[in-house]
Amino acid sequence: MPNVSVKVKWGKEMYPDVEVNTDDEPVLFKAQIFALTGVQPERQKVVCKGVTLRDDTWGNFKLTNNALVLVMGSKEEDVPAAPVEQTRFVEDMNEAELATAMDMPEGLINLGNTCYMNATVQCLKTVPELRNALLNYDKSSTGGDTAGELTAALSETVSALDSGGSSACGVAAARLLGALHGAAPRFAERAAAGGFAQQDASECWTEIVRALQQRLPAAPMPDKNATRASVIEQYFGGTLDVELVCSEADEPPTHSEESFLQLSCFISQDVKYLQSGLRSKMAEHITKMSQTLGRDAVYTKTSKISRLPAYLTVQFVRFYYKEKESINAKILKDVKFPLDLDVYELCTPELQERLTPMRNKFKELEDAKVQSSLSSGNKSHGDSSKAKKKRVLPYWFENDVGSNNSGYYRLQAVLTHRGRSSSSGHYVAWVARGAGWLRCDDDTVTPVTEDEVLKLSGGGDWHCAYLLLYGPKILELPEQDEDEPMVTDITDDPAGEPPTALA
């Protein structure tokens, strides 16, 4: 009997008629208990008929209808603890931080080494088009496959985070974890102590994105010949033009096209900045079979971006396998990354030509701001003219919804790792919100400054940037006068939802 109704007793409180599905993992039941009592799963001791519930299996923990389940454990706030970070008082916050602090979004509780999943969800949730597609996802038509179950669970989690309430978020996180285990059983591995083992956040990111790629259809596109079938390909997918030249024989160069959902920044002794790490990956030496020589030969592989996605994911390749210790050791080197990223130099000449018109508009706006600043310095303080309303221009090419038409990006999320290996330590999400930033450390969400985000570049045992998510830099122009030509407004977006201005 997988579905039973039990009574849960915690201290003096009694919760009757709690529905439990024993086909689910025990952690989901603990999340339900958290929703009722506020006691986090790792602090719970759950007992029925003298048997204690384990995290990994129901085992001898037999539930029947009307069975009494005893819960022992206290809420985290009941146990005083020394503050990890210096307290920030409201009086010391600027306006952006104050507005953020007064309206904190929900976080996701840690179900036992699940920070990698929590941080991934918080970062992906910053993409408005993806968030809307998830909220509109028909959870009743999952198709019965693991990708559908994972997409439905993520949809439920995003909805719970939007609506608020730690109870709903706790249950949603547990279901998402179960769906992730179903899609990729390696994430269900256990540590020596019996709890869930820590996992790699980049692998979790890839697994979730792969599921969404299968299940979330793309928004309608003006170009009827467009082949991007999913929201992921539409907004995260780019293409590379690749040229291979043999360094050891006189062979004609070969050309091909490759797709990508993220770029890699390899960290070497010479790499001090994100841009140089990306450049080095675009021109590399590889070894492959030469038909001319009849043996392996060295080739120069040169890649140029021919399609820029609206949202650019960059992974710092910080982990490498250390055979002696059998762990993925970490490169702690400091590699600086910018808030504003320009990838024009990484693009093909053809794409550079297409990017130029929008780039010129950005330059014209900057020049106009400088001129306006100089002019305003000569005006009297009595000038009470109202500022013009702004209109937002589309960030995509007209025939390619979900692309980037300028090459300019603005940082909107950073996923960091603190520790010495990918299978240990702690993952945290840092996400842009309005004019400020938030640190999403599991269920603890706090405002932070841009300076604190830029300090996540590595170089020590503090949090190091592992994954960066850049969104399109949005161009805002003053409202047009009646005699000016009409410009397409962002609300004409065929995807149905205007993007969030990140600049």
Catalytic residues: 115, 426
Contact status, residue 162 vs residue 126, Cβ threshold 8 Å:
no
Q: Which residue from 28, 30, 70, 66 is spatially nearest to 49, judged by alpha carbons?
A: 70
Q: Which residue from 264, 263, 309, 261 is spatially nearest to 129, judged by alpha carbons?
A: 309
Task: Quote the radius of gyration of the chain (alpha carbons, Å).
Answer: 26
List all residues 6 or more positions away from 263 whose beta carbon is below 8 Å from its beta carbon. 238, 278, 281, 312, 313, 314, 315
Please calculate the CA angle 82-85-87 and round it to the nearest 5 degrees: 90
Q: What are the two backbone dihedrals, phi and then psi, of residue 193, each rounded to the nearest 5 degrees?
A: -80, -10
- Let me know if 410 is exposed, middle or buried by CB neighbors in 10 A (0-12, 13-18, 19+): middle
Task: Measure the CA–CA gap between 306 and 346, rounded to whole angstroms.
Answer: 9
Give the DSSP letter of residue 192: T
Q: At what angle do helices 166-183 and 115-124 cross, to 10 degrees?
A: 100
Contact status, residue 176 vs residue 192, Cβ threshold 8 Å:
no
For residue 338, what are its two tokens? 């910018």
Task: Measure the CA–CA gap between 156 and 80, rounded to whole angstroms.
Answer: 33
For residue 43, what are its two tokens? 């602090």
